Structure 1
Amino acid sequence: MNNNITRQRPPAQSGAESLPAGRRSHLQNTKERLDGFFRRIPFSFLMAAVFLAAAVFSRTLFGMDAARIWGQGVDATFEGGRWWTLLTALLVPQDATATALAAIGAVLLLGLAERTLGTRKAALAFLTTGLTGGFLGILLQWLGTLTWEWWSTSASTSATVDPLTGVLGALSTATGSMGLLWRRRIRVVLLTFVLIFVLYSGDPEDFYRLLAVLAGLPLGAWLRTSKRPLHVAYSSHRETRTLVAAVVLVTAVGPLVAFLGSTDLTPFAFGSYLFMNDPVDPGMLAAACHGDLPLSRLCIHQLARIGSQGPGMVALAFVPVVLLGLAAWGLYRGRRFGWWLAVGVNTAILLASPGSFSVVRLIGQAGTAVHRPFNGQELVIWMLTAALVPAASLIMLVLKRRHFGIHAPRRAFRRFLLVLLGSFLVLAGACTVAALSALKSIAPRITASGVFLDAPRRFVPPHFLSGPGHFVLPRHTVVSWAYQWSGPAFWAVFVVAALWLLSRSPRLAVAHDVEKFRALLRRRGGGSLGHMTTWEGNTPWFTRDGEGALAYREVNGQAIVLGEPVCAPDRVEQTIREFLVFCDEHNWTPVFYSFHSGLLPVFEHLGWRHMPVGEETVIHTEGLTMQGKHWQSVRTALNKAVREGRTAVWTSWSELPFAATTEIVAISESWVAENKLPEMGFTLGGLEELKDPDVRLMLAVAEDGRIEALTSWMPVHEDGEVVAWTLDFMRRAPESHNGVMEFLIASAALHLQEAGARFVSLSGAPLATKPVPADAAPEAPAAGIAAFLAWLSRTLEPAYGFGSLFRFKAKFHPEYSTLFMAFPDFSALPRIGMALARAYLPEVSTKESMVLARVLGRRD
Structure 2
Amino acid sequence: MGPGPSTDGAGPRPGPSRPDPAARARRLAGAAIVRTLVWSTRLVALLMIAYALLPAPRRILGEPLRSSLALPHTARLAGIVITMVAAVGLMLLATGLRRRKRRAWTVAVGVTGLLTIVNLPHGLSTGHGLVAALTSAGLLAAFIACRRYFVARPDPGGLTAGLVLFGQLALAGFALVWLLLAINHQRLVGAPGPQDEAVHAALSLVGVSGPVLFRAAWLDDLTSTVGLSFGIAAVLVAAYCLLRSPEPRPVLTADDESRLRALLDRHGERDSLGYFALRRDKAAVFSPSGKAAVAYRVLAGVALASGDPVGDVEAWPGAIELFLAECTGHGWVPAVLACSERGATAWARAGLDALELGDEAVLDARSFSLEGRPMRGIRQAAARVRRAGYAVRVRRVAELDDGERTGLAALASTWRGDAAERGYSMALSRMADAADPNAVVVTAERGGAVRGLLQFVPWGREGLSLDLMRRDPAADNGLNELMIVELMAAAPGLGVARVSLNFAVFRAALERGERIGAGPVARLWARILRIASRFWQIDSLYRFNAKFRPEWAPRFLVFPTARDLPRILVAALEAEGFGGRPPLVLRLLRR
Could you tell me which residue of structure 1 aligns to residue 53 of structure 2?
260
Q: CA deviation at 1:566?
A: 1.4
Q: Distance in 2 between matches of 1:690 and 1:255?
A: 62
Q: CA deviation at 1:314?
A: 8.5
Residue 477 of structure 1 pairs with residue 196 of structure 2: yes
Could you tell me which residue of structure 1 aligns to residue 548 of structure 2?
812
Q: Give the conservation status (yes or no) of the 8 Å contact 2:362–2:553.
A: yes
Q: Give the conservation status (yes or no) of the 8 Å contact 1:236–1:584.
A: no
Match of 1:709, SS state, is strand
Residue 403 of structure 1 pairs with residue 169 of structure 2: no
Q: Distance in 1 between matches of 2:510 and 2:74?
A: 76
Match of 1:693, SS state, is coil
Which residues in structure 2 correspond to 1:144-543 (within 5 Å)? 236-263=29-56, 269-271=59-61, 296=64, 305-306=73-74, 318-353=84-119, 355-356=121-122, 379=125, 384-385=130-131, 387-414=133-160, 416=162, 477-478=196-197, 481=200, 484=203, 493=234, 495-505=236-246, 507=248, 513-525=256-268, 526-543=270-287
Q: CA deviation at 1:339?
A: 0.7
Q: Distance in 2 between matches of 1:639 and 1:483?
A: 75
Q: CA deviation at 1:831?
A: 4.7
Q: CA deviation at 1:356?
A: 3.8
Q: CA deviation at 1:698?
A: 1.2
Q: Of 626, 647, 656, which residue of structure 1 is paired with 2:404?
A: 656
Q: CA deviation at 1:532?
A: 2.1
Structure 1 residue ranges without an equivalent (≥5): 1-231, 274-288, 290-295, 361-378, 428-473, 673-677, 848-860
Q: CA deviation at 1:313?
A: 11
Which residues in structure 2 correspond to 1:106-125 (within 5 Å)? none
Q: Distance in 2 between matches of 1:618 and 1:423?
A: 54
Match of 1:769, SS state, is helix
Q: Give the conservation status (yes or no) of the 8 Å contact 2:152–2:328.
A: no
Could you tell me which residue of structure 2 aligns to residue 837 of structure 1?
573
Could you tell me which residue of structure 2 aligns to residue 467 of structure 1?
none
Q: Distance in 2 between matches of 1:771 and 1:396?
A: 50
Residue 563 of structure 1 pairs with residue 563 of structure 2: no
Could you tell me which residue of structure 2 aligns to residue 667 of structure 1?
415
Higher share in helix: 1
Q: CA deviation at 1:486?
A: 7.7
Higher share in strand: 2
Q: Distance in 2 between matches of 1:422 and 1:798?
A: 40
- Please tell me the residue identity of whatever aligns with 1:809: N
Q: Distance in 1 between matches of 2:202 and 2:360?
A: 66
- Please tell me the residue identity of whatever aligns with 1:805: L
Q: Which TM-score applies when normalising by structure 2?
A: 0.71
Q: Distance in 2 between matches of 1:258 and 1:758?
A: 70
Q: CA deviation at 1:724?
A: 1.4
Q: Give the conservation status (yes or no) of the 8 Å contact 1:258–1:270.
A: no
Q: Deviations over 1:596-645 (max 9, x none)?
A: 33446546766765443222222222254544554444444444444443
Q: Give the conservation status (yes or no) of the 8 Å contact 1:633–1:811.
A: yes
Cα gap change, 1:573 to 1:325, in 2 (>3 Å): closer
Match of 2:275, SS state, is helix
Which residues in structure 2 correspond to 1:68-147 (within 5 Å)? none
Q: Give the conservation status (yes or no) of the 8 Å contact 2:570–2:580.
A: no
Q: CA deviation at 1:669?
A: 1.5
Q: Deviations over 1:543-601 (max 9, x none)?
A: 12211112234444544431122122333445445544554555544444323334465
Q: Distance in 2 between matches of 1:692 and 1:242?
A: 49
Q: Give the conservation status (yes or no) of the 8 Å contact 2:286–2:292.
A: yes
Q: CA deviation at 1:686?
A: 7.7
- Please tell me the residue identity of whatever aligns with 1:543: S
How many aligned positions are there?
508
User: Identity percentage over the alignment?
Assistant: 23
- Please tell me the residue identity of whatever aligns with 1:741: N
Could you tell me which residue of structure 2 aligns to residue 683 of structure 1?
425
Could you tell me which residue of structure 2 aligns to residue 734 of structure 1?
473
Cα gap change, 1:665 to 1:496, in 2 (>3 Å): closer
Greater CA radius of gyration, 1 or 2?
1
Q: Distance in 1 between matches of 2:386 and 2:168?
A: 73
Which gives a bigger RCO, structure 1 or 2 (Cα 8 Å, sep 6+)?
2
Q: Distance in 2 between matches of 1:313 and 1:387?
A: 13
Cα gap change, 1:692 to 1:846, in 2 (>3 Å): farther
Q: Distance in 1 between matches of 2:567 and 2:166?
A: 32
Q: Distance in 2 between matches of 1:421 and 1:799?
A: 39
Q: Give the conservation status (yes or no) of the 8 Å contact 1:408–1:502.
A: yes
Could you tell me which residue of structure 2 aligns to residue 850 of structure 1?
none
Residue 550 of structure 1 pairs with residue 294 of structure 2: yes
Q: Deviations over 1:643-671 (max 9, x none)?
A: 4432223364855265554333222218x
Cα gap change, 1:476 to 1:842, in 2 (>3 Å): same
Residue 767 of structure 1 pairs with residue 506 of structure 2: yes
Q: Give the conservation status (yes or no) of the 8 Å contact 1:313–1:484.
A: no
Q: Deviations over 1:359-390 (max 9, x none)?
A: x6xxxxxxxxxxxxxxxxxx487775453122
Q: Distance in 1 between matches of 2:495 and 2:161?
A: 58
Q: Distance in 1 between matches of 2:309 and 2:201?
A: 61
Structure 2 residue ranges without an equivalent (≥5): 1-24, 174-192, 208-226, 584-591
Could you tell me which residue of structure 1 aligns to residue 360 of structure 2?
616
Q: Of 794, 800, 805, which residue of structure 1 is paired with 2:530?
A: 794
Q: Give the conservation status (yes or no) of the 8 Å contact 2:102–2:153.
A: yes
Q: Distance in 2 between matches of 1:658 and 1:606?
A: 44
Q: Distance in 2 between matches of 1:768 and 1:500?
A: 39
Match of 1:544, SS state, is coil
Q: Give the conservation status (yes or no) of the 8 Å contact 2:285–2:319.
A: no
Q: Distance in 1 between matches of 2:542 and 2:392?
A: 23
Could you tell me which residue of structure 2 aligns to residue 709 of structure 1?
452
Q: Which TM-score applies when normalising by structure 1?
A: 0.51
Match of 1:762, SS state, is strand
Q: Give the conservation status (yes or no) of the 8 Å contact 2:444–2:483.
A: yes
CA RMSD after TM alignment: 4.6
Residue 700 of structure 1 pairs with residue 447 of structure 2: no
Q: Give the conservation status (yes or no) of the 8 Å contact 2:375–2:548.
A: yes
Could you tell me which residue of structure 1 aligns to residue 190 of structure 2?
none
Q: Give the conservation status (yes or no) of the 8 Å contact 2:305–2:335.
A: yes
Match of 1:812, SS state, is coil
Q: Deviations over 1:514-541 (max 9, x none)?
A: 3322332233215111122222543322
Cα gap change, 1:723 to 1:770, in 2 (>3 Å): farther
Q: Give the conservation status (yes or no) of the 8 Å contact 2:530–2:538.
A: no
